[in-house]
Structure 1
Amino acid sequence: SMSLDSREFRNALGRFPTGVCVITANPDGYEPFGMTVNSFASVSLDPALVLWSLQNDSECFEAFAKAKKYAVNILAEDQMQLSNFYAKKGDHSLQKEHYTMGRHGTPVIKGALTTFECDIWQRYEGGDHVILVGKVQAMLNSFETKPLVFFSGKYRELR
């Protein structure tokens, strides 16, 4: 197989601008927690499916292994601090002031651009990640219109 320089590959992937999401969940035996990702994508309209990818060595791996559902919270431009907070190593517990309980029983981030509450539909092995496909059961859109954008390792502003 072609040998790729892994740093160069990572940097090249970073050239695809993305939104920023906090994935939230509250599986049995766990406090509500959140984890920042930019690996979110839409999959299907019918059924309504979305996906994101979780690193196999993630601190949250065991918790997501137990989870039956999760929420994808797409962050608004003014939520950079929140993105950084849930991207940190160590404690991923949701701060009381950051979330409320959604209609489908998952914690959801207050003020997010859009939230998709999902049941885990399928898990796929994806190399050093697991791909978590979710079936959207409820969604919430805010009045905020500007997303938090990530490109080449930095937050950007959408003009």
Structure 2
Amino acid sequence: NSALLFEGIAHTLAQPANNGEFYLTDAFQYMIDHGAKLKVEDVAGWYDAGKLDTLLDTNRVMLEKGRARRPADVQGATIIEPVYIEDGCTLTGSTIGPNVSISAGSTVTGTTVRDAVIGAKSRLIDCVLHDSLIGDAVLLERVHGSTTVGDNSEVRGEQ
């Protein structure tokens, strides 16, 4: 019953956050408490997107299981599958992949990146990144290694 699920979600969001997070299982419990019967299924894996390593692992699994895509006209970059590149990205003189997702409007120039998720409208210039999570509207310049950068941030390495 989707109406009861949305009611359960609204109820969950009205409660104080548990360690800064809300859990869908609380909405499921609300449904059960209000008479719903839920079916249980075994799953092959469980991924906690609240942790960097499992978020990147989830990205990898999603790409391997068919979520990979790239625009038809990726020029100026070497692509190592699997990747997910939204339309509207500009890739110049870069190597992208494997296991990289890039959101719309991002620009990647002179950069090598693997095992990473890059948010929308971010700019990566002369970086070498792996195992990284980059938020929306981020400017990274001359950054090397593994990093996590939140939305609307700028990080510049040494020249």
TM class by smaller structure: under 0.3
- Higher gyration radius (CA): 2
> RCO higher in 1 or 2 (8 Å CA, sep ≥ 6)?
1
- TM-score after normalising by structure 1: 0.24
Instruction: Report which of the two has the higher share of helix.
Output: 2
- TM-score after normalising by structure 2: 0.24
